[in-house]
């Protein structure tokens, strides 16, 4: 069932992309934006967890951050390929977005390590939630920091090609973004169902064993 | 194929492959859940007629 | 409010007294930072200039702070006094504030050694660089006290702490280096103040959730 559902949404973004000048941009930027949304959702669910103490927000927050990290890794890879295509270098430190994603990627990798090093229980839920909140605060602060750092690390600024977007390009971009967002949402739901069933099975097994 | 096209294709391939890997992982997970559920069902069916179960 | 301040003062006094008796953390940090600076002298190619030297100073400072933070909850854990502290009739955020101030004191002591040594070995220090160090210290200790409490809850605490702390410290390093080498340091110092305020408030508000079982 999960596979079929995923396949349906697989097709959607591909369709929307046809007939448009093939650019990584249409995938790279929506994935990056969606990744922010995922991290934001994770933080929001974390806040809800701290607020209400309802256990279900823990898995929701975790799943959202899981999604965000997958999309973040994709952003890094596609961005790196884009940099290679445009500037003939695999990595450019002058690209704010990419550097920010590297920082975030490291931060959220540490999230998983922290999470798995703590025994499951209410304390782990709360620590994960606080961590997710810190992530949401770190995104704008890091963005600002990286922008500031460009001034002393890189006096020369690369110019990106393909400056302004035409209307059709913008429309295509929006369609792509919607498609990716829907894809992310579906992935999020599927992951969530999977993780919930996993937890429920665990409970059941304990109930049967006793 | 020009090098620009090659890189673009590579980028799309990476995204597609990632999604594919994700689907495979989820499918494997679903299969595992299914199996565990069946196992539990089996065990429950065994234990209901006679109260003493075989193993823990 | 004065009760809160008294609680914090008592907690800080406790940490300082422990350190005064054991003399573990501060000497280790001081020796470590000097050793790092000496290593950097050999790692740095000859005549690579003051910007590179300042960069290395910041690397040394951050790793020294990490060394101190790794030890920051060890007395509580070894003496099993954390549960007692949590149950004590004081606001939980006072524990965080006390720990941050104590860590800040350790860090400041280590830097009282490190900064003159840097000035001696490499470059004379400017006022704006020292202001940057002070502001970054506040941020390091505010975030670090919370993050090390998080890491201490897990099994692999010594491994996780640097992983969690370094990405959080990147904005501080940017602000610190900017304020050290830029000609107009104002915006970097302002950025550091912003970071300190934002993350102090966040840590202060969320510490209770991290520490309670």
Closest to A95 (Cα-Cα) out of A175, A27, A29: A29
Which of A89-103, C118-132, C163-177 has the highest mean predicted lDDT (pLDDT)?
Answer: C163-177
What residues in C contact A130, CB-CB < 8 Å?
146, 150, 206, 209-210
Cα separation, B11 vs C108, in Å, equals 48
A104 touches chain C (CB under 8 A): yes
Q: What is the pLDDT of residue A9?
A: 45
Q: What is the mean pLDDT of residues A1-30?
A: 52
Mean pLDDT estimate for chain A: 79
**Residue B5 tokens, joined:** 């096209």
Contacts by A195-201, CB closer than 8 A, 24 or more apart: A195/A59, A195/A62, A195/A63, A196/A59, A197/B33, A198/B29, A198/B33, A199/A59, A201/B33, A201/B36, A201/B37, A201/B40
Is B50 in a helix, a strand, or coil? coil
Task: Please tell me which residue, C133 or C185, carries the higher pLDDT value.
Answer: C133
**Contact C210/A110, CB-based, under 8 Å?**
no
Of C50, C181, C56, residue with least CA distance to A151 = C181
Q: Report the percentage of chain A scoring pLDDT > 70.
A: 77
B residues 1..56 contacting A (CB < 8 A): 3-5, 7-12, 14-15, 18-19, 22-23, 26-27, 29-30, 33, 36-37, 40, 43-44, 47, 56
Q: Do chains C and B touch (3 or more CB pairs under 8 A)?
A: no
For residue A122, the chain C residues in CB contact (below 8 A) are 213
Tell me, yes or no, if A52 comes closer than 8 A to chain C by beta carbon: no
Give the range with max mean pLDDT: A23-32, A48-57, B4-13, C162-171.
C162-171
**Per-residue pLDDT tens over the stretch A103-128:** 999 999 999 999 999 888 888 899 99
pLDDT for residue B56: 42
- Res C53: pLDDT: 84
Tell me chain A's radius of gyration from C-alpha atoms: 19
Contacts of C60 (CB under 8 A, 6+ apart): C33, C36, C37, C40, C114
Within 8 A of C178 by CB-CB distance, chain A residues are 148-149, 151-152
A58: nearest Cα among A199, A182, A183: A199
Q: Are A76 and A105 in contact (CB under 8 A)?
A: yes
Closest CA to A114 of A143, A135, A98: A135
CA distance A63 to chain C (A): 19
Say yes or no to pLDDT of C22 above 90. no
In contact, A108 and A39? CB cutoff 8 Å: yes
Query: Hey, is the C-beta of A8 within 8 angstroms of any chain B C-beta?
Result: no
pLDDT of A54-75, one tens digit each? 888 999 999 999 999 999 999 8
Closest-approach residue (CA) in chain A for B15:
A74
The answer, yes or no, to whether residue A2 has pLDDT greater than 60, is: no
- Global ipTM: 0.86
CA dihedral (C115, C121, C125, C131) positive or negative: negative
Quick: pLDDT tens for C85-141: 888 778 888 989 999 999 999 999 999 999 999 988 887 888 888 999 999 999 999
pLDDT of res. A165: 57
Contact status, residue A57 vs residue A75, Cβ threshold 8 Å: no
Which range (A81-85, A138-142, B39-43, C101-105) has the least confidence?
A81-85
Amino acid C56: pLDDT: 87
Cα within 13 Å of Cα(C152), Cβ side: 22
User: Measured between alpha carbons, how far is residue A48 from residues A34, A96, A130, A132 in Å?
Assistant: 21, 31, 11, 11
For residue A117, the chain C residues in CB contact (below 8 A) are 151, 154-157, 159-160
Give residue-wise pLDDT tens across range A139-193: 999 988 888 887 665 444 444 444 455 666 666 677 777 778 888 888 898 889 8
Find chains touching chain B: ≥3 CB pairs under 8 Å.
A
Which pair of tokens denotes residue C78?
């070894």
Give the tokens for residue B6: 């090659």
User: Is the CB of C168 less than 8 angstroms away from the CB of A127?
Assistant: no
Q: What DSSP string describes chain C?
A: -HHHHHHHHHHHHHHHHHHHHH--HHHHHHHHHHHHHHHHHHHSPTT-HHHHHHHHHHHHHHHHHHHHHHTTTHHHHHTT-HHHHHHSSS-HHHHHHHHHHHHHHHHHHHHHHHHHHHHHHT-PPPHHHHHHHHHHHHHHHHHHHHHHHHHHTSSSHHHHHHHHHHHHHHHHHHHHHHHHH-S--HHHHHHHHHHHHHHHHHHHHHHHHHH--
Place B51 in a pLDDT band, splitting at 50, 70 and 90: low
A118 and C CB contact within 8 Å? yes
Residues of chain A found within 8 Å of residue B11, distances taken between Cβ atoms? 24, 27-28, 77-78, 81-82
- The neighbour count for residue A74, using CB atoms within 10 Å, is 23
Q: Do A70 and B33 touch (CB under 8 A)?
A: no
**Inter-chain contact B26–A6, Cβ cutoff 8 Å?**
yes
Q: Is C46 left (phi over 0), alpha (psi -120 to 50) or beta?
A: beta
Mutate to test the interface with A, among B9, B10, B26, B36 (most CBs of A within 10 A): B26
Structure tokens at B38: 């069946």
A109 touches chain B (CB under 8 A): no
């Amino acid at each position: 069932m999960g596979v079929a559902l995923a396949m349906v949404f697989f097709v959607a973004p591909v369709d929307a992309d046809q007939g448009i000048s093939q650019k990584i941009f249409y995938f790279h930027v929506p994935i990056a934006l969606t990744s922010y949304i995922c991290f934001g959702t994770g933080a929001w669910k974390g806040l809800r967890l701290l607020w209400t103490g309802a256990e279900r927000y823990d898995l929701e927050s975790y799943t959202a951050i899981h999604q965000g990290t997958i999309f973040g890794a994709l952003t890094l890879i596609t961005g790196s390929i884009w940099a290679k295509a445009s500037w003939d270098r695999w990595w450019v430190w002058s690209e704010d977005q990419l550097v920010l994603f590297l920082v975030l990627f490291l931060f959220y990798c540490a999230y998983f390590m922290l999470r798995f090093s703590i025994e499951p229980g209410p304390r782990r839920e709360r620590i994960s939630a606080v961590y997710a909140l810190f992530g949401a605060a770190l995104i704008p602060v890091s963005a600002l920091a990286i922008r500031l750092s460009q001034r002393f690390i890189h006096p020369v600024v690369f110019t990106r090609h393909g400056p302004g977007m035409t209307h059709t390009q913008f429309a295509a971009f929006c369609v792509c973004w919607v498609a990716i967002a829907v894809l992310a949402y579906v992935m999020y739901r599927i992951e969530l169902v999977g993780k919930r069933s996993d937890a429920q099975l665990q409970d059941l097994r304990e109930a049967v064993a006793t | 194929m020009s090098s620009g096209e090659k890189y673009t294709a590579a980028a799309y391939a990476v995204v597609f492959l990632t999604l594919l890997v994700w689907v495979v992982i989820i499918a494997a997970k679903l299969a595992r859940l299914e199996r565990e559920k069946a196992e539990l069902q089996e065990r429950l069916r065994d234990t209901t007629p006679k109260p003493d179960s075989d193993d823990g | 409010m004065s009760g809160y301040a008294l609680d914090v003062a008592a907690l800080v006094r406790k940490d300082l007294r422990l350190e005064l008796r054991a003399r573990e953390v501060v000497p280790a940090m001081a020796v470590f930072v000097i050793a790092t600076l000496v290593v950097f002298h050999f790692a740095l190619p000859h005549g690579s200039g003051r910007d590179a030297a300042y960069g290395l100073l910041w690397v040394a400072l951050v790793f020294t702070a990490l060394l101190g933070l790794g030890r920051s909850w060890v007395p509580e854990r070894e003496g099993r006094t954390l549960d007692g502290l949590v149950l004590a009739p004081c606001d939980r955020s006072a524990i965080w504030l006390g720990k941050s101030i104590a860590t800040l004191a350790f860090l400041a002591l280590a830097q009282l050694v490190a900064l003159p040594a840097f000035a001696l070995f490499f470059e004379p220090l400017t006022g704006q660089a020292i202001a940057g160090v002070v502001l970054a210290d506040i941020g390091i200790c505010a975030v670090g006290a919370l993050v090390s409490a998080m890491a201490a809850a897990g099994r692999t605490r010594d491994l996780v702490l640097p992983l969690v702390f370094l990405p959080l410290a990147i904005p501080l390093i940017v602000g610190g280096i900017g304020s050290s080498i830029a000609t107009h340091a104002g915006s970097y110092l302002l950025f550091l103040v912003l970071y300190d305020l934002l993350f102090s408030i966040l840590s202060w508000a969320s510490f209770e959730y991290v520490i309670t079982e």
